[in-house]
Amino acid sequence: MLTLEATTTDTPEVLANNPVRADLVTYLNDLEQGCGFLNREQVLIILGQWYHPLHYFPTFLARLISVTPSLASQTFISRILWQELGEGDPGCAHERIYLDTIVDGEFASEVVTRVPRLNATRELVAGYETASQGYLSGLGFLYGTEVVDLPMVSTIGELMGRCTGKRDLPWVDIHVRQEPDHVKSSNEALQPSFTVGEQQQIIEHAEQMWRLWIDFFRSIKDEILADKQHPHRG
């Protein structure tokens, strides 16, 4: 007798209420309030580490599209990729706007892009690369990213603004404008009916991604605090 496996369609709702996601948002709030004023060298730690996952994210999306079996899900993911890459204008790609923003803040882009990766940054990017090899793991990383991207960007923008005095940050503005579309697209990509086992895989990979981001920001905070205690080290 054939037994059909139970299916579920509430994956976005389950992920939205996940406690690990809440842990990351809480950590971002604590980071923003706990770091206080940062000098330029300390802000450079943040900007340089952030560049690495930002640079890899379009590649992650393209790889995920290539392993996604659903035409509809491919369309929703490609919408995010299209926006990440500037909606047809390379000058409006998120990476380009990020570099232009930090240059306007009087940080040299060639310095930021060459900051060596911390171990947690290396593991974060490797996590995205591995997740993009599978449809379910990639969906977990995609949704997990989009629902926390704006809080992460806002935290970095706030810390940068304290240092430079600049409040007009186009890189933050583009996220404020586009992030609702990104969240909507990631939700739509999760609309298909998944088996309970498939849903669990998506959830586990989203949780893995959130923990990698917590480690990422924790390592940055450790570097900043070390620099505050020993500002002339190295």
- Residue 25 confidence class, pLDDT cut points 50, 70, 90: very high
Q: What's the N-to-C CA distance of the chain in angstroms?
A: 70
Give the confidence band of 2 by pLDDT, cuts at 50, 70, 90. Answer: very low
In this prediction, residue 164 carries a pLDDT of 78
| HSE-up of residue 231 (Cα within 13 Å, Cβ side) | 7
Residue-range domain boundaries for the chain: 39-223
At the topology level, CATH places domain 39-223 in: Heme Oxygenase; Chain A (1.20.910)
The mean-pLDDT minimum among 29-43, 51-65, 92-106, 170-184 falls in 29-43
The tokens describing 90, both together, are 């390379």
Q: What is the pTM of this model?
A: 0.91
Place of tokens 């000098």: 39
